[in-house]
Amino acid sequence: MQVSQEDFEKAQEQLKLLKKDPGNETKLKLYALFKQATEGPCNSPKPGMLDFVKKAKWDAWNSLGNLSQDNAKQQYTELVSSLLSAESSDRKKDASPEESTHDGYETIQVTTKNNITKIMFNRPDKKNAINHKMYREIIKALEEAGKDDSTIAVITGNGDYYSSGNDLNNFTNVQPSEMEKMAKDGAVLLKEFVGHFIDFPKPLVAVVNGPAIGICVTVLGLCDIVYASDRATFHSPFSQLGQSPEGCSSYLFPKIMGLAKANEVLLFNKKLTAAEACAQGLVTEVFPDRTFQKEVWARLEAYASLPKNSLAVSKQLLRSMEKEKLHAVNSKECEVLKERWLSDECINAIVSFFQKKSKL
């Protein structure tokens, strides 16, 4: 299909839109095709050997021989179009690097982009409450993220909540004869879950986008950095539910906050604002909610460009001093919790919680 004079002129205008230099060879080809299209075959005398630029242009034009003006217009227009398409494609690649989605998850979303593997709690209609399936999927995601090519891993929540903690429906519909098995299996699952945070080999960052409750608060002490929106809150209502601390918080929170502040949180259910959690050392930095995502992810992408192996080795060195102690604490906490879950006090507290909830 022959191009019109209008298409040819449009191509000349589009050529001016190119941001990148297409290179001398392409520029000579464009020059030659333009001359052939507007003047026909080369008709000017051959320049002297020492006039390199003019000679290169003459050679390019002359090489087209008797190519018709219409065909020259066609080739010129097609070449300009291909240059613009290639540049547009490059810009798209630069603007949005490939994000790969990890399949096989229902309660979380796992993606990798810019050397960051993001594990996102994805039950927004349930305030990202963690049910048994979600526990297992987070364990699997941490295993995979520990072995993939990413530099750092990030945990965050989808929607208004970071996570409302343990889905208390985990405790419902359990027959009295199954209580002991439920408590035993729950303790095994929890121990494995927390163990994966203890053993995670790379920098692990929590991006707390909203309220955080229970287990998702306690394991923050096992993360390397915790960034929070100013609308986030931190609440561990263990005694309110007849339970006891987990996530190594019985050991780490007094170290992080000091014993008196940790007691308020772990014994007396004090809910911390993001600013209070930051002042007490649980949170690294707090950001205004309106700029939270933009500021945090820009910073994380900068971290993820650092040498990967150096970060991993340094993280493991820092953790190695405490690792054995943390696993021992985790085991003890899970043993105590197993007993708590079977106690009348805990069962009554959970029943009371659901009764209050049903009246709301």
Question: Tens digit of pLDDT for each residue in 19-28?
Answer: 778 888 899 9
CA distance 259 to 131: 31
Q: Are 208 and 156 in contact (CB under 8 A)?
A: yes
CA distance 88 to 18: 9
CA distance 95 to 192: 39
Q: Which residue, 165, 263, 272, is CA-closest to 219? A: 165
Q: Residue written as tokens 């650092």?
A: 306
In whole angstroms, what separates CA 112 from the centre of its chain? 6
CA distance 67 to 60: 13
φ, ψ for residue 138 (rounded to 5)? Answer: -65, -40
Q: Which CATH architecture has domain 5-95?
A: Up-down Bundle (1.20)
CA distance 253 to 265: 9
Q: Hey, what are 98's tokens?
A: 């490939």
Q: What is the pLDDT of residues 157-209, one digit of tens each?
A: 999 999 999 997 777 667 778 889 999 999 999 999 999 999 999 999 999 99
The pTM of the full predicted model, rounded to 2 decimals, is: 0.73
The residues, any chain, with a CB within 8 Å of residue 135's CB and separated by 6 or more, are: 189, 190, 193
**Residue segments in the chain with a per-residue pLDDT below the cut of 50:** 95
Q: Are 310 and 202 in contact (CB under 8 A)?
A: no
Q: Are 256 and 217 in contact (CB under 8 A)?
A: no
- Amino acid 95: pLDDT: 46
What is the CATH code for 100-359? 3.90.226.10
HEC sequence for the chain: CCCCHHHHHHHHHHHCCCCCCCCHHHHHHHHHHHHHHHHCCCCCCCCCCCCHHHHHHHHHHHCCCCCCHHHHHHHHHHHHHHHHHHHHHHHHHHHCCCCEECCCCCCEEEEEECCEEEEEECCHHHCCCECHHHHHHHHHHHHHHHHCCCCEEEEEECCCCCECCECHHHHCCCCHHHHHHHHHHHHHHHHHHHHHHHHCCCCEEEEECCCEECHHHHHHHHCCEEEEECCCEEECCCHHHCCCCCCCHHHHHHHHHCHHHHHHHHCCCCCEEHHHHHHCCCCCEEECHHHHHHHHHHHHHHHHCCCHHHHHHHHHHHHHCCHHHHHHHHHHHHHHHHHHHCCHHHHHHHHHHHHHHHHC
Q: Which residue, 209, 187, 210, is CA-closest to 132? A: 187
CA distance 234 to 278: 11
Characterize the bridge pairing of strands 212-213 and 204-208: unpaired
Q: Hey, what are 49's tokens?
A: 């050997």
**Domain boundaries defined on the chain:** 5-95, 100-359
Neighbours of 27 (CB within 10 A): 15
